Amino acid sequence: MPAQASSSFSAARAPRVAIVGATGAVGEEFLRVLDQRSFPMTSLKLLASARSAGKTLSFGDQTLTVEALGEHSFDDVDLALFSAGGSISREYAPLAVKAGAVVVDNSSAFRMTDGVPLVVPEVNPQAVTEAGIGLRKELKAGIIANPNCSTIIMLLAVNPLHRFAGVERIVVSTYQAASGAGAAAMRELEQQTREALSAPGGTGTVETQDVFGMQYAFNLFSHNSPVEMGGYNQEELKMVHESHKIWNQDADQGAAVSPERIRTGITATCVRVPVMRAHAESINLTFRDECSELKASELLRAAPGVTLQDDRAANAFPTPLQASHQDDVFVGRVRRDLSQPEGRGLDLFVCGDQIRKGAALNAVQIAELLLERRGAER
């Protein structure tokens, strides 16, 4: 468990905020989301590697200068939003907590650590309260983890159905965008696409293969995370383990299955596709209780953070392009799985902007929970 201290926050002012990894794909999205949601702040500090020190970034109508991350970066910070990779989080998040800041961490460093809440605000908001972490002197500074982007997108769609009918099994296949691998992967997909289109003799091959070590443009491949014993890659295992942790933290929120039964069988196949931004997922569900197509559509239509887009007549369903830069996760292709006993199986197709809802937006929503809580308890 990371070091604990009491929160440095003073209720007399809005929090002093820092973004760690401000120059990255998620970091820049943090700037947009904080601005668009008018997140209350006394100050905003942008932190990145020494390579970016002095670089400027826009925040609303302000121009802010990036500082190099260092051990004293958090001396005047109440809330630190981390998105600079696991090793940076492991080294600096405990220092931020020691300095009295609440950390919302986008990396996988602490997601499965006992005592660190793993939160999707639409699914298990109470996990924050239960951990006693908050922006008040009497509450603890501490770390709250943002789940993996594919997990967040899947749970936004599946959780409303799970609460109603108890999902016993999930078979999910992902179609993951370049943006999930950061700004460098997005640049490389663009570069490779140019190279492929102008390749001599129309061969469609590319020279630049720095990020994934293979051709990404006009190709697709198994997710680039390391493959573990048993053949699952780490991205697939994150979807399994994180979903279980989140749902178990949701146990008293009226989920249709009791905590000891929230061991829903989940098997995932994660694939990178040459899409610039926003992930797609094909999801097959087996329910304990009956859940008709009609009921599922009704539940999804009412679910926070979800837009049902399911027009069979027009063959119009979610696409990554349309989900890009949107807050909601789009769900369509809601249909009975004909291979399962009636009412016990459904298929869905889901798209969500994983830099936004899968990372920056979810983290800012967690920070908003901390602020709401402050208001409620005052």
Ligand X SMILES: NC(=O)c1ccc[n+]([C@@H]2O[C@H](COP(=O)([O-])OP(=O)(O)OC[C@H]3O[C@@H](n4cnc5c(N)ncnc54)[C@H](OP(=O)(O)O)[C@@H]3O)[C@@H](O)[C@H]2O)c1
Active site residues: 149, 279
Only segment of 17-25, 190-198, 251-259, 317-325 that touches ligand X (CB under 6 A)? 17-25
CB of 237 to ligand X, least distance (A): 15
CB of 44 to ligand X, least distance (A): 15
Within 159-178, the residues that bind ligand X by CB under 6 A are: none
Count of chain residues binding ligand X (CB under 6 A): 29
Question: In the complex with ligand X, which residue's Cβ is closer, 49 or 292?
Answer: 49
CB of 203 to ligand X, least distance (A): 30
Only segment of 47-55, 71-79, 210-218, 313-321 that touches ligand X (CB under 6 A)? 47-55
CB of 120 to ligand X, least distance (A): 12
- Interface pick for ligand X out of 7, 73, 83, 192 (rule CB under 6 A): 83
- Interface pick for ligand X out of 7, 8, 73, 106 (rule CB under 6 A): 106
Asked if 225 touches ligand X (CB under 6 A), the answer is no
- Interface pick for ligand X out of 33, 44, 48, 141 (rule CB under 6 A): 48
Query: Which residue has its beta carbon closest to ligand X?
Result: 24
CB of 46 to ligand X, least distance (A): 9
Asked if 52 touches ligand X (CB under 6 A), the answer is yes
Asked if 318 touches ligand X (CB under 6 A), the answer is no
Asked if 206 touches ligand X (CB under 6 A), the answer is no
Asked if 27 touches ligand X (CB under 6 A), the answer is yes
What is the 3-state secondary structure of the chain? CCCCCECCCCCCCCCEEEEECCCCHHHHHHHHHHHHCCCCCCEEEEEECHHHCCCEEEECCEEEEEEECCCCCCCCCCEEEECCCHHHHHHHHHHHHHCCCEEEECCCCCCCCCCCCECCCCCCCHHHHHHCECCCCCCECEEEECCCHHHHHHHHHHHHHHHHHCEEEEEEEEEECHHHHCHHHHHHHHHHHHHHHCCHHHCCCCCCCCCCCCCCCCCCEECCCCECCCCCEHHHHHHHHHHHHHHHCCCCCCCCCCHHHCCCEEEEEEEECCCCCCEEEEEEEEECCCCCHHHHHHHHHHCCCEEECCECCCCECCCHHHHCCCCCEEEEEEEECCCCCCCCEEEEEEEECCCHHHHHHHHHHHHHHHHHHHHHHC
Which residues here bind ligand X, judged by CB under 6 A?
21-27, 48-49, 51-52, 69, 83-86, 88, 106-107, 149, 179-180, 182-184, 354-355, 358-359
